[in-house]
């Protein structure tokens, strides 16, 4: 039982007390503020129209009734129109016992036998993964793990954008300026090598635009007439016509990129169940566009371009296929969506983890699929998130001003290493174990700093601030977990004893239990809102409350019963911290 179910019980009792069915909107039960005595608080003001009495008198009458009729309520107090209810020790201890019995799966829901597909990362093969991708990847991976805890079968996937004009830009630049350079020859990751040539293309492109504008040609016209861009477009057409030389070059360079991506994903600790490639799904997308024309859903113009008119749906006309027959992002997205449902027919929802600059794109995509008659399109969901910036400002891939994901991870590792060494607490660990811990702390700091922010909000990332052993940070929570492991290991024989329901709880112990009992509700809410931030900030609350308990009561001193209970409470706290960190993709070190 958690505090939401308590709200339901209070509601039922009020129905009996007033002999009527009270609307859900009138029942407001919250956790009691820490500056008042109590565990849950009923807001009385909405009930005055039923009681026909003043707030304080209404609260007194309800309090007396609940204490008399609910064994879970020990006492109450009234502060104006707020009824603060004190839960019984027996209630707290019995529910803690259930939490302990469920072990590491405490909070997980029963299997639903329904599939949810979560797409994340989905990079272009013309550059390495960067800081923007990191937020996307961590958010998508964590949401996947949270949905698993909510009982869904989850397919973690990405669509690899391995074709298109951007890819041809890197290919053309390497062909013109690469002189046969390879990742092996240069001893660099393949994705970084390709990214270098994407930047080179744009440098040469700007030079050609300037040459044209110096000749008196309008800026916009110059941008379209630059010779290197025309060459890239020609290469794209050759690719779609399966030109052997272009296809061979494309396969070679994409292979380099995939090897680089795999290293980054492994270091970041994420994985995928199924990969889709735009070079394959765009073909199905083109078939769907043709089908739409035949059914008079889409319109083909005189220049042979194909459009979908969405003006009656509050959107614009959307180009689906260019006049030269080449496809767009939406073309492959249509094909990918349909292919996924064919591959996983038990799917109830597709979730796309993509930045908020693509909000309009997904409104259009879902509406186009709906017009084609795919009922599941209405249930598709765009997990839109805010952009991520550094103190230095916005990043731009084509100008080479992005923060490389590999470099960022190494910076986090280095910062964690220095701060840990400065703390002077790891003298008894081997060098290999120390190195593992530095990576664990560094990546934990990175992941937590990103995931504790509501996905919809834009955020500023500060590496130095994230690696702090105090405050709302990953290392603070990891350190608290390590503390629980250290304490539990010292008196393991006294932990996990059957709880005595007559044990007299101290305030510090009760506060920890209250947070523990809220964990199932947090997992459920995080799953329904697709927000790892709920998990992250819950873990901070648990770690903070536990540390107040740790400093307020002697855990390893007192009677055997007190020590046993406090060690057991410590062990359960550690398990939830570990489980919660796992849902965020963060490791939980046992020593720090």
Please report whether residue 381 resides in a domain: yes
Please report whether residue 522 resides in a domain: yes
Secondary structure of 361-407 in the HEC alphabet?
Answer: HHHHHHHHHHHCCCHHHHHCEEEEECCEEECCECCCHHHCCCCEHHH
Please report whether residue 99 resides in a domain: no
The per-residue pLDDT for 388 is 80
The model's confidence at residue 199, banded by pLDDT at 50, 70 and 90, is very high
**CATH number of the domain to which 291 belongs:** 3.40.50.620
- Residue of 415 and 256 predicted with greater confidence: 256
Are 340 and 238 in the same domain? Answer: yes
Are 179 and 242 in the same domain? Answer: yes
The per-residue pLDDT for 27 is 93
Q: What is the mean pLDDT of residues 95-114?
A: 92
**pLDDT tens digits, 536-546:** 999 999 999 99
**pLDDT tens digits, 373-419:** 999 999 999 999 998 876 665 444 444 456 889 998 998 999 899 88
Q: What is the mean pLDDT of residues 550-558?
A: 92
d(CA 232, CA 280): 21
Are 419 and 437 in the same domain? Answer: yes
Are 159 and 128 in the same domain? Answer: yes
Least confident of 17-21, 42-46, 461-465, 585-589: 461-465
d(CA 125, CA 517): 46
Q: What is the mean pLDDT of residues 333-358?
A: 96
For residue 375, what are its two tokens? 């009922």
The per-residue pLDDT for 144 is 98
Q: Could you give the number of structural domains in the chain?
A: 3
**pLDDT tens digits, 258-314:** 999 999 999 999 999 999 999 999 999 999 999 999 999 999 999 999 999 999 999
Q: Beta strand pairing status for 347-355 and 317-321?
A: unpaired
Please report whether residue 414 resides in a domain: yes
Nearest CA-CA partner of 499 in 575, 561, 573, 560: 561
Place of tokens 């996905």: 455
d(CA 534, CA 546): 18
Are 219 and 259 in the same domain? Answer: yes
Cβ(164)–Cβ(363) under 8 Å? no
On the question of pLDDT at 185 being above 70, the answer is yes
Domain boundary among 365, 383, 399: 399
Least confident of 80-84, 144-148, 493-497, 543-547: 493-497
- Chain centre distance of CA 53: 47
Instruction: Measure Cα distances from 55 to 52, 68, 78 in Å.
Output: 9, 20, 9
The model's confidence at residue 6, banded by pLDDT at 50, 70 and 90, is confident
d(CA 382, CA 354): 7
Please report whether residue 161 resides in a domain: yes
**pLDDT tens digits, 208-248:** 999 999 999 999 999 999 999 999 999 998 998 999 999 99
Cβ(50)–Cβ(11) under 8 Å? no
pTM: 0.91
Residue 159: CA atoms inside 13 Å, Cβ hemisphere, count? 27
Cβ(140)–Cβ(146) under 8 Å? no
**pLDDT tens digits, 435-474:** 999 999 999 999 999 999 999 998 887 777 777 777 899 9
On the question of pLDDT at 256 being above 90, the answer is yes
Please report whether residue 536 resides in a domain: yes
What average pLDDT does the chain have? 92
Please report whether residue 101 resides in a domain: no
Are 247 and 197 in the same domain? Answer: yes
The per-residue pLDDT for 267 is 95
The per-residue pLDDT for 524 is 96
The per-residue pLDDT for 498 is 74
Please report whether residue 115 resides in a domain: no
Are 288 and 367 in the same domain? Answer: yes
Are 258 and 282 in the same domain? Answer: yes
On the question of pLDDT at 372 being above 50, the answer is yes
What share of the chain has pLDDT > 90, as a percent? 81
On the question of pLDDT at 430 being above 70, the answer is yes
The per-residue pLDDT for 497 is 62
CB contact set of 392 (below 8 Å; sequence gap of 6+):
none
Structural domain harbouring 463? 405-583
Q: What is the mean pLDDT of residues 81-91?
A: 94
Are 183 and 167 in the same domain? Answer: yes
Are 306 and 251 in the same domain? Answer: yes
Are 286 and 329 in the same domain? Answer: yes
Domain boundary among 356, 380, 399: 399
The per-residue pLDDT for 495 is 55
**pLDDT tens digits, 130-177:** 888 999 999 999 999 999 999 999 999 999 999 889 999 999 999 999
Q: H or E stretch including 42?
A: strand 40-43
**CATH number of the domain to which 55 belongs:** 3.30.1360.70
Cβ(83)–Cβ(67) under 8 Å? no
Domain boundary among 86, 109, 137: 86
Are 384 and 480 in the same domain? Answer: no
């Amino acid at each position: 039982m958690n505090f939401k179910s308590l709200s339901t019980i209070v509601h039922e009792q009020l129905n009996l007390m007033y002999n009527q069915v009270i609307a859900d909107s009138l029942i407001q039960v919250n956790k009691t503020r820490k500056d008042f005595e109590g565990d849950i608080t009923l807001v009385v003001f909405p009930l005055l129209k039923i009681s026909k009495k003043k707030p304080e008198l209404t609260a007194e009458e309800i309090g007396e009734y609940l204490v008399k009729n609910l064994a879970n309520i020990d006492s109450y107090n009234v502060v104006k129109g707020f009824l603060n209810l004190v839960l019984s020790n027996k209630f707290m201890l019995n529910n803690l016992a259930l939490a302990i019995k469920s072990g590491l799966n405490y909070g997980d829901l029963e299997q639903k036998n329904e599939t949810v597909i979560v797409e994340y990362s989905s990079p272009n093969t013309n550059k390495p993964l960067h800081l923007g991708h990191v937020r996307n990847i961590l958010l998508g991976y964590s949401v996947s793990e949270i949905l698993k805890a909510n009982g869904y079968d989850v397919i973690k996937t990405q669509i690899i954008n391995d074709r298109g004009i951007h890819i041809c830009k890197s290919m053309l630049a390497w062909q013109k300026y690469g002189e046969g350079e390879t990742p092996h020859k240069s001893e660099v990751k393949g994705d970084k090598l390709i990214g270098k040539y994407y930047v080179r293309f744009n440098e040469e492109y700007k030079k050609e635009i300037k040459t044209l504008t110096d000749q008196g040609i309008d800026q916009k016209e110059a941008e379209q007439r630059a010779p290197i861009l025309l060459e890239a477009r020609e290469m794209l057409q050759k690719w779609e016509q399966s030109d052997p030389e272009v296809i061979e070059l494309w396969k070679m360079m994409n292979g380099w990129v995939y090897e680089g991506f795999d290293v980054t994903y492994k270091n970041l600790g994420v994985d995928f169940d199924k990969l889709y490639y735009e070079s394959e799904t765009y073909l199905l997308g083109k078939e769907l566009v043709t089908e739409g024309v035949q059914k008079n859903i889409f319109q083909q113009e005189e220049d042979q371009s194909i459009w979908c008119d969405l003006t009656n749906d509050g959107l614009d006309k959307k180009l689906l296929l260019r006049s030269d027959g080449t496809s767009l992002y939406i073309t492959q997205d249509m094909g990918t969506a349909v292919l996924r449902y064919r591959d996983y027919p038990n799917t109830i929802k597709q979730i796309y983890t993509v930045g908020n600059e693509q909000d309009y794109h997904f409104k259009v995509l879902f509406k186009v699929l709906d017009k084609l008659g795919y009922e599941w399109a209405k249930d598709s969901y765009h997990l839109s998130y805010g952009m991520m910036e550094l103190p230095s400002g916005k990043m731009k891939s084509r100008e080479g001003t992005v923060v490389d994901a590999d470099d960022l991870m190494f910076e986090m590792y280095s910062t964690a290493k220095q701060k840990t060494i400065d703390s002077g607490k790891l003298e008894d660990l081997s060098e290999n174990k120390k190195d593992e811990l530095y990576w664990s702390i560094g990546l934990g700091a990175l992941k937590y700093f990103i995931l504790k922010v509501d996905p919809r909000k834009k955020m500023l990332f500060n590496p130095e601030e994230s690696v702090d052993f105090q405050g709302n940070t990953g290392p603070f929570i990891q350190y608290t977990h390590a503390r629980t492991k250290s304490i539990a290991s010292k008196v393991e024989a006294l932990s996990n004893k059957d709880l005595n329901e007559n044990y007299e709880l101290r305030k510090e112990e009760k506060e920890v239990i209250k947070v523990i009992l809220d964990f199932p509700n947090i997992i459920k809410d995080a799953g329904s809102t697709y927000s790892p931030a709920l998990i992250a900030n819950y873990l901070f609350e648990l770690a903070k409350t536990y540390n107040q308990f740790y400093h307020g009561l002697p855990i390893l001193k007192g009677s055997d019963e007190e020590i046993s209970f406090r060690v057991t409470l410590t062990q359960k706290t550690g398990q939830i911290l570990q489980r919660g960190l796992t849902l965020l993709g963060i490791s939980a070190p046992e020593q720090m």
